[in-house]
Amino acid sequence: MAYENIRVETRGRVGLITLDRPSALNALSNALFEELNRALDTFEADDKIGCIVLTGSEKAFAAGADIKEMSEFDFAEAYKRDHITPWERVTRVRKPVIAAVSGYALGGGCELAMMCDFIIAGDNAKFGQPEVTLGVVPGAGGTQRLTRFVGKSKAMEMCLSGRFMDAEEAERAGLVSRIVPAADLVEEAVNVAHKIAEMSLPIVMMIKESVNRAYETTLAEGTRFERRMFHASFATEDQNEGMRAFIEKRSPQFKNK
Ligand code: HXC
């Protein structure tokens, strides 16, 4: 089925998903998430794809959940449908997902970016959790993931006051991995994704799983998990190829992509 709220393309081994509801600054509707999840499922299942980039427009990554759609909700309906839970599909993608954020990433938009593995920001990016100004609580991890990224004080201020953070503040606070000129954002993100997609995919997936452990368990458990993954690396032919290529002073040609 064709997509109406997103654009989906491949660039070599990179899957590029662009949120595309310009009339609503990419406000996140249920229909948009149904399409996004379908595109993620397709790339996840495609052996020719090694890394995914999720982006929006230069003006907005996404200006939040669709307020017009949400304004019709009542508690029983929201609870019965388990509203928001399907939006977290991206957190279960096993291949790396990079958020390339330009312009507004507000409310659910900021939360969606934080669900990705890392965020590269355009120099015009603005992050915020303005739900409080609408009389609701952030509902897709804003109070949880933002706090883990930037610490209690800044997360608390942003969630309580609705203040936006610009790209420089976001980089200083550790919310984004780096800033690039907005005009080059997608190209830069795709370049990083190309690089990742040339690595051994099982190893990339093990690294992603290991880093995520840092958020979900103790340091002792996390390092134990990492050690087992490290040991498991030696069961792959790509370990052999990677180390042999170094010794032979050539580029590795990983088989398990
Ligand atoms: C629905 C939205 C929208 C949104 C913008 N639009 N954000 N529609 N939901 N979240 C629509 C506007 O209604 C308008 O449509 C068009 O997009 C352009 O927006 P403007 O406001 O005219 O643009 P501008 O003046 O440049 O202001 C940009 C803005 C502002 C600062 C980003 O649009 C804004 O404050 N948006 C809402 C941000 C927000 O509160 N996000 C959190 C949502 S709650 P028309 O038809 O009038 O031209 C949330 C909860 C998450 O995300 C919990 C679970 C995920």
ipTM: 0.97
Nearest CA to ligand 1 atom 12: 24
Residue type, 130: P
CA of 127 to the centre of ligand 1 (A): 13
With a pLDDT cut of 70, the percent of the chain lying above it is 100
- Pick the more confident residue, 77 or 54: 54
**Mean pLDDT for the chain?**
97
Fold match, 6-197 / 200-248 = no
Using alpha carbons, list the distances in angstroms from residue 172 to 49, 150, 181: 32, 9, 17
pLDDT tens-digit readout, 12-37: 999 999 999 999 999 999 999 999 99
Q: Assess whether 108 carries a catalytic annotation.
A: yes
CA of 27 to the centre of ligand 1 (A): 7
**Does the domain made of 200-248 have the CATH classification 3.10.20.30?**
no
Rounded Cα distance between 96 and 223, Å, is: 21
H/E element holding 86? none
Q: What is the mean pLDDT of residues 39-64?
A: 98
pLDDT value for 180: 98
Residue 81 has pLDDT above 90, yes or no: no
Q: Assess whether 111 carries a catalytic annotation.
A: yes
Q: Does ligand 1 have an atom closer than 6 angstroms to the CB of 122?
A: no
Residue 1 has pLDDT above 90, yes or no: no
Q: What is the mean pLDDT of residues 107-130?
A: 98
Residue 129 has pLDDT above 90, yes or no: yes
Helices (H), 108-249: 108-115, 142-150, 152-161, 167-173, 185-197, 201-216, 219-233, 237-247
| Atom of ligand 1 lying closest to residue 25 CA | 17
Best of 23, 67, 71 for a ligand 1 pocket test (most atoms within 8 Å of beta carbon)? 67
CA of 13 to the centre of ligand 1 (A): 34
- pLDDT tier at 257, thresholds 50, 70, 90: confident
**Number of neighbours of residue 64 by Cβ within 10 angstroms:** 28
Q: Does ligand 1 have an atom closer than 6 angstroms to the CB of 84?
A: yes
Residue 245 has pLDDT above 80, yes or no: yes
**Does the domain made of 6-197 have the CATH classification 3.30.70.60?**
no
Q: How open is the CA angle 197-193-215, to the nearest 5 degrees?
A: 95
Q: Is 82 helix (H, G, I), strand (E, B) or coil?
A: coil
Non-local (6+) Cβ contacts of 16 within 8 A are 8, 9, 10, 52, 53, 55, 186, 190
**Cα-flanking dihedrals φ and ψ of residue 84, to 5°?**
95, -40
Q: Does ligand 1 have an atom closer than 6 angstroms to the CB of 140?
A: yes
Delimit the domains of the chain by residue range: 6-197, 200-248
Residue 238 has pLDDT above 80, yes or no: yes
Q: Does ligand 1 have an atom closer than 6 angstroms to the CB of 61?
A: no
pLDDT value for 230: 97
Q: Listing from the earlier edge strand, what are the strands of the sheet with 51-55?
A: 6-11, 14-19, 51-55, 97-101, 118-122, 178-180
pLDDT tens-digit readout, 168-198: 999 999 999 999 999 999 999 999 999 999 9
Residue position matching structure tokens 């880093």: 211
